[in-house]
Chains A and B, each alone.
Chain A
Amino acid sequence: MIVFDKPKSLTDTPFHYCPGCTHGIVHRLVAEAIDEFGIEGKTIGVAPVGCAVLAYNYFACDMVEAAHGRAPAVATGLKRALPDRVIFTYQGDGDLASIGMAETVHAATRNENITIIFINNAIYGMTGGQMAPTSLPGQVTQTSPYGRDVKTAGYPVKICEILSQLDGPTYLERVAVNNVKNVRNAKKAIRKAFQNQIEGKGFSLIEVISTCPTNWGMTPEKALAWVDEKMIPYYPLGVYTDRSAERGEEEK
């Protein structure tokens, strides 16, 4: 009897992610949600530029690779062309919260009927560990070698808090994947973000607090603990906006 298997919505291509990186967990949660709703054949994903740039090789649904930060705009085009398809983007913090900030905010304020999975690991992973818009005050990175100095580099960008000021978005939640309880909550949130779209309710964004042991310079175990010690206190978990009860087909 098979009690645990790879989701159908993931291909057999081995992940390239570093040991201890939580991208793999989040990929799996997204694929599980797609499987559970039975929408693999009608889903189109949009990959970012960053560590998840090769996500198009891992998800078994149709995939589009977007330019850096432009995934919400590309997803908007896809959704407007194919309103009966399920469109999701998968983006990191440099992609979504820095270069793609305008696309993020405006897709949210239009309540574009798409699902965004936002990986916040407080660093640029792919390019080798530079300061991200979400790097914590004092955090040492390749481009903040003396620690992020808020006097010159400013403060971290809090996406859920910012977007929650808008009337547009339907559902915003911040989750983490550093322990079993948090993974279960993350799964629930991701499921809901897809369900909202299927029901025509509009824009859902799930911010996933993630790890980058390689560029944080930590063991995978230490990185998971750092999420509890440093990340979550700065980025509180929870639901920031939920208008899913008041929105439905008639509004879209």
Chain B
Amino acid sequence: MEEKVLMKGNEAIAEAAIRSGCRHYFGYPITPQTEIAAYMSKVMPKIGGTFLQAESEVAAINMVYGVASTGKRVMTSSSSPGISLKSEGLSYLAGSDLPALVINVQRGGPGLGGIQPSQSDYFQATKGGGHGDYHMIVLAPSSVQEMASLTMKGFELADKYRMTSMILADGTIGQMMEAITFPETKSETVDTPWAVTGTECKRPHNIINSLSLVPEELERFNIQRFERYAEVEKNECMWESYEMEDAEICVVAFGIAARVAKNAIVAARAEGIKAGMIRPITLWPFPKAALYEASKKVKAFVSVELSMGQMIEDIELAIRCSRPVSLCRRVGGVIPNPEEVLNSIREAMKGGN
């Protein structure tokens, strides 16, 4: 049997990355994700890997770009303000079709904001963040176990689709400790004929690049990239359904908000309200089909978010505005308690009748 270990969410990410074969980490200190860098700085030198504390988030993501160009697994981690700085690099990674893993342990914003948990980088993560037409695969863990398993999944998907995977976590899951097991890792090697490794004078030179000065050529590259994105949308949507069989109210929540929502759903059912939840695990691709199916059965949706209401727009699009969607939200580092979510469920039940 796999060994159970007690770990912080941030440490689980670091250990999972190492077990996934990642040997290159670049970071810059920022709360609440610094445990990742601390863990890497301890372990990497002992296993022949790279830990480098970069001069900035901008430098760190460009070091990631350098390693990714060689086809090797690489990651960086940060929190909200740092991700804004990395956004230049995220756009270039997308434009050059390079695989990488980026961790965002979110804190409240905008600006310097605060250091307490938040989910207000949903738009930034799922709609691009940097300039140009592009997507990242966005994975939203709601437990320390998922911090580990989704990190591993993130590397696999990044390699498979030559994309950046982002773990969109929050300060709570980053900081809390839970007992977890590390799944067996398959060390699948993906062919990287595009990588720069030195030609050895045996092949034409490879060029890692996002510049195309001919408009028709650049258009073609964008279209080809979106054909790949369509494959991701078709194949890689992940979500958890909870108590949805007979549900009349569908709560939609991810990350720490989903943990709180589960308690509220138990309480709602105790007072006779048939509530359930769809928890998106991939925020991009967003589980549109699952929500659309649910919309045929439920009376109303409740989006529970640690933001002023960002995911709610994707829910409304996914269900084509066919049902009312209400918002239960706290921001600035405040987490809603189950009672607040329960009240939103009660309200939705009234309104949906």
Task: Specify which of A56, A62, A64, A103 is in contact with B59 (CB 8 Å cutoff).
Answer: A103
Task: Specify which of B67, B96, B199 is in contact with A77 (CB 8 Å cutoff).
Answer: B67
A158 to B155, CA, bound (A): 43
What chain B residues lie within 8 Å of A41 (beta carbons)?
Answer: 198-202
Q: B199 and A80: CB pair below 8 A?
A: no
Q: A61 and B205: CB pair below 8 A?
A: yes
Q: A81 and B24: CB pair below 8 A?
A: yes
Interface residues of A in 49-72 (CB under 8 A from B): 53, 56-57, 59-67, 70
- Interface residue count on the B side (C-beta < 8 Å): 39
Q: Is A173 an interface residue (CB 8 A)?
A: no
Most A C-beta atoms less than 10 A away, residue of B60, B63, B92, B211: B63
Chain A nearest CB, measured from B44 CB (Å): 11
- Interface residue count on the A side (C-beta < 8 Å): 35
What chain B residues lie within 8 Å of A82 (beta carbons)?
Answer: 70, 197-198
A102 to B58, CA, bound (A): 10
Q: Is B343 an interface residue (CB 8 A)?
A: no
Q: A80 and B24: CB pair below 8 A?
A: yes
Q: Is A215 an interface residue (CB 8 A)?
A: no
What chain B residues lie within 8 Å of A66 (beta carbons)?
Answer: 62, 65
Q: Is A40 an interface residue (CB 8 A)?
A: yes
Q: Is B69 an interface residue (CB 8 A)?
A: yes
Q: Is B290 an interface residue (CB 8 A)?
A: no
Q: A64 and B62: CB pair below 8 A?
A: no
Chain A nearest CB, measured from B145 CB (Å): 30
Q: B67 and A62: CB pair below 8 A?
A: no
CB-CB contacts of B90-114 with A at 8 A, as 1s and 0s? Answer: 0010001000000000000000000
What chain B residues lie within 8 Å of A11 (beta carbons)?
Answer: 205
A122 to B5, CA, bound (A): 59
Interface of A is mostly: helix
Chain B nearest CB, measured from A10 CB (Å): 11
What chain A residues lie within 8 Å of B200 (beta carbons)?
Answer: 41-42
Task: Specify which of A43, A59, A74, A80 is in contact with B62 (CB 8 Å cutoff).
Answer: A74
A73 to B57, CA, bound (A): 11
What chain A residues lie within 8 Å of B24 (beta carbons)?
Answer: 77, 80-81
Minimum CB distance partner of B71 in chain A: A81
What chain A residues lie within 8 Å of B55 (beta carbons)?
Answer: 102-103, 105-106
Q: B63 and A76: CB pair below 8 A?
A: yes
What chain B residues lie within 8 Å of A73 (beta carbons)?
Answer: 54, 58-60, 62-63, 65-66
A62 to B194, CA, bound (A): 10
Most B C-beta atoms less than 10 A away, residue of A56, A60, A77: A77
CB-CB contacts of A28-58 with B at 8 A, as 1s and 0s? Answer: 0000000000001111101000000100110
CB-CB contacts of B173-212 with A at 8 A, as 1s and 0s? Answer: 0000000000000000000000011111110011111110
What chain B residues lie within 8 Å of A103 (beta carbons)?
Answer: 55, 58-59, 62
A80 to B72, CA, bound (A): 11
What chain A residues lie within 8 Å of B62 (beta carbons)?
Answer: 66-67, 70, 73-74, 77, 103
Minimum CB distance partner of B49 in chain A: A80
Q: B199 and A61: CB pair below 8 A?
A: yes
Minimum CB distance partner of A80 in chain B: B50
Interface residues of B in 31-71 (CB under 8 A from A): 50, 52, 54-56, 58-60, 62-70
Q: A62 and B197: CB pair below 8 A?
A: yes
Q: A63 and B92: CB pair below 8 A?
A: no
Q: Is A85 an interface residue (CB 8 A)?
A: yes
A43 to B26, CA, bound (A): 23
Chain A nearest CB, measured from B86 CB (Å): 11
A56 to B92, CA, bound (A): 16
Q: Is B280 an interface residue (CB 8 A)?
A: no
Q: Is B154 an interface residue (CB 8 A)?
A: no
Chain A nearest CB, measured from B206 CB (Å): 5
Q: Is B88 an interface residue (CB 8 A)?
A: yes
Known: A41-B202, A103-B59. A80 touches B89 (CB 8 A): no
| 14 A–B pairs (Cβ distance < 8 Å), ordered by A | A57-B207, A65-B207, A65-B209, A70-B65, A70-B89, A73-B58, A78-B66, A81-B50, A81-B66, A81-B70, A81-B74, A102-B55, A102-B58, A106-B54
Nearest 10 Cβ contacts at the A-B interface: A77-B66, A73-B62, A62-B196, A106-B55, A77-B63, A41-B201, A70-B62, A65-B209, A74-B66, A42-B198
Additional A-B contacts beyond A63-B207, A63-B208, A75-B66 (12; CB < 8 A): A42-B200, A57-B207, A62-B196, A62-B205, A63-B205, A64-B65, A77-B26, A77-B66, A77-B67, A79-B66, A80-B52, A102-B59
